[in-house]
Amino acid sequence: MRRFTILTLFAVLLFAAAYSQGSRTRELAPGVWFWQGNRDVQQPANCGWVLFRDYVLVIDANFPWGAREILPEIKKTTSKPIRFVFDTHYHGDHSYGNSVFVDAGAAIVCSQDCANELRTKGQAGWDKNTATGEFSLKPYRLEHPSIVFGDGMVFDDGERRVELKRMGPGHSKGDAVAYLPKERILFAGDLCVNWKSGNNTSDRDADHQNWVRALNEMARWDVRTVAHGHGALGTTDTLRTQAAYLDDIWKQVVAGLRTGKSPDDLIKSIDLSRHGDFAASAPGNASAVRAIYAKAQ
Ligand SMILES: [Zn+2]
């Protein structure tokens, strides 16, 4: 009996492990795929891919070790070649895997400002990386975009349409998003994240006020599903909630500045509890207050 119970438990655990692995990939609409990032294995960013008649467009390249896991997942869904990878922005968790896709035959696409940022801040971050072991960048190279756009770019083969739209500066200077009007799906990059770990608000080119404006603008688009840069899938409500969080910090920081408060005073006194999971990370909130304080002065 005891043996049976242990064997049953083992089988259940195996099934759970297989299920949780498989559940990282999800088809949002026919030919539109979402791959869920996982912070625990240093693949925190989400990824997407869209099947066109003749090729695949990937959204966000992850870290190189993430890209190496994503590639076979894409191949399970299609035999079409991966021609393009769109980086929503230059941060390493979304772009450092570019070379893995280039070696598989793809060209990297992003906004002109994103490309400039990757060549400067992104390259500096890559060069500074001292990690060893499985998360070392040493075995890889940083591949830069070979296709850039100003305000936008459209992939449309008559059946499928993906609109790349520059929405930054917000989370970074060159933020852009991928919008699928027919399927009503938006890949929003890190303009919005939907997890308890907070958002990175401290890029030196972040523009928090324009960021709020961009989120509220996208919340008015015809969108059913939002795939964020990190965390679970959401809706336009998620965009509004991220906007409200940033806007609230901005307003409270500006009010505090007028009365001579320091960032440390503000970190202690600002109440963000009404923003739920968006304010669940105390270090994330503190970092946002400092970043916004520096911009608002
Ligand atoms: Zn990110």
The whole-number pLDDT of residue 12 equals: 45
**Dist. CA 91 → ligand 1 center (Å):** 6
**Dist. CA 230 → ligand 1 center (Å):** 6
**Dist. CA 62 → ligand 1 center (Å):** 9
The whole-number pLDDT of residue 3 equals: 52
Locate all alpha helices (DSSP H) within the chain, ordered by sequence: 2-22, 64-77, 92-95, 98-103, 112-117, 123-128, 208-218, 236-258, 263-269, 282-296
**Dist. CA 81 → ligand 1 center (Å):** 26
Residues lining ion ligand 1 (Cβ < 5 A) are 45, 93, 190, 229
The whole-number pLDDT of residue 297 equals: 87
| Cα distances (Å, whole numbers) of residue 92 to 18, 161, 208 | 29, 27, 20
**Dist. CA 6 → ligand 1 center (Å):** 41
The whole-number pLDDT of residue 23 equals: 77
Token couple for 113: 């400002």
Cβ atoms of 152 and 110 closer than 8 Å: no
**Dist. CA 45 → ligand 1 center (Å):** 5
Using 70 as the pLDDT threshold, list the residues of the chain that sit under it.
1-22
The whole-number pLDDT of residue 22 equals: 56
**Dist. CA 37 → ligand 1 center (Å):** 10
Rounded to two decimals, what is the model's pTM?
0.91
Q: What is the mean pLDDT of the chain?
A: 93
| The CATH homologous superfamily of the domain defined by 24-236 | Ribonuclease Z/Hydroxyacylglutathione hydrolase-like (3.60.15.10)
